[in-house]
């Protein structure tokens, strides 16, 4: 039907629109969800609290999967020879993010979310630096109001 000899592709999405901000927002959401889970009453004594626990847990799992997807996409599609040469530890940082996001899915300890945010911010800093974009660390304007690395605009 088609006589196509060769196909070349570089990115899954249009080049130059990658942004780790989505992974940062998902990570902040995980931390907020962990906080909300900690604030719940006893789910064994209240059907409403049990139902809320299920909803919060499902959202926490969804956001952890989103962090993994977003980071792996940038790492796999954007980080090539020159970026890896500039940051040879990017593979370890990404692997750490994958493990920490899984831990956030498995457990309800806030410190897991905090460690994940630290690694995602490190990844964001590496990403922006490879693009020659200066960054700054600012507090997110919504709960849990933690620090995120973003481009200095």
Average pLDDT over the chain reads 93
CB 146 within 8 A of CB 140: yes
Strand ranges (DSSP E) for the chain? 135-139, 147-151
- Is pLDDT above 90 for 57? yes
**Phi and psi (nearest 5°) for 76?**
-75, -35
Burial of 148 (0-12, 13-18, 19+ CB in 10 A): buried
pTM over 0.85: yes
* Cα–Cα nearest to 79, from 65, 92, 90: 90
Q: Which domains does the chain have, with CATH numbers?
A: 21-151 (1.20.120.400)
Question: What was the pLDDT predicted at 10?
Answer: 56
For the CA atoms of the chain, what is the radius of gyration? 18
Q: Lowest-confidence range among 33-37, 42-46, 51-55, 129-133?
A: 42-46
| Contact (Cβ atoms closer than 8 angstroms) between residue 127 and residue 74 | yes
Residue 125 has pLDDT above 80, yes or no: yes
**pLDDT (tens digit per residue) in 6-26:** 755 555 555 678 999 999 999
Q: Which two tokens stand for residue 71?
A: 């980071």
């Amino acid at each position: 039907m088609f006589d196509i000899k060769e196909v070349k592709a570089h990115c899954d999405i249009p080049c130059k629109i990658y942004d780790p901000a989505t992974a940062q927002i998902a990570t902040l959401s995980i931390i907020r969800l962990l906080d909300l889970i900690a604030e719940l009453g006893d789910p064994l004594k209240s059907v409403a609290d049990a139902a809320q626990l299920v909803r919060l847990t499902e959202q926490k799992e969804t956001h952890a999967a989103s962090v993994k997807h977003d980071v792996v996409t940038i790492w796999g599609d954007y980080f090539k020879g020159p970026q890896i040469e500039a940051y040879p530890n990017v593979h370890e940082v990404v692997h750490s993010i994958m493990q920490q996001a899984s831990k956030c899915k498995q457990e309800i300890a806030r410190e897991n979310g905090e460690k994940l945010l630290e690694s995602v911010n490190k990844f964001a800093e590496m990403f922006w630096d490879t693009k020659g974009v200066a960054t700054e660390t600012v507090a997110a304007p919504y709960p849990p109001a933690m620090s995120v690395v973003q481009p200095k605009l």
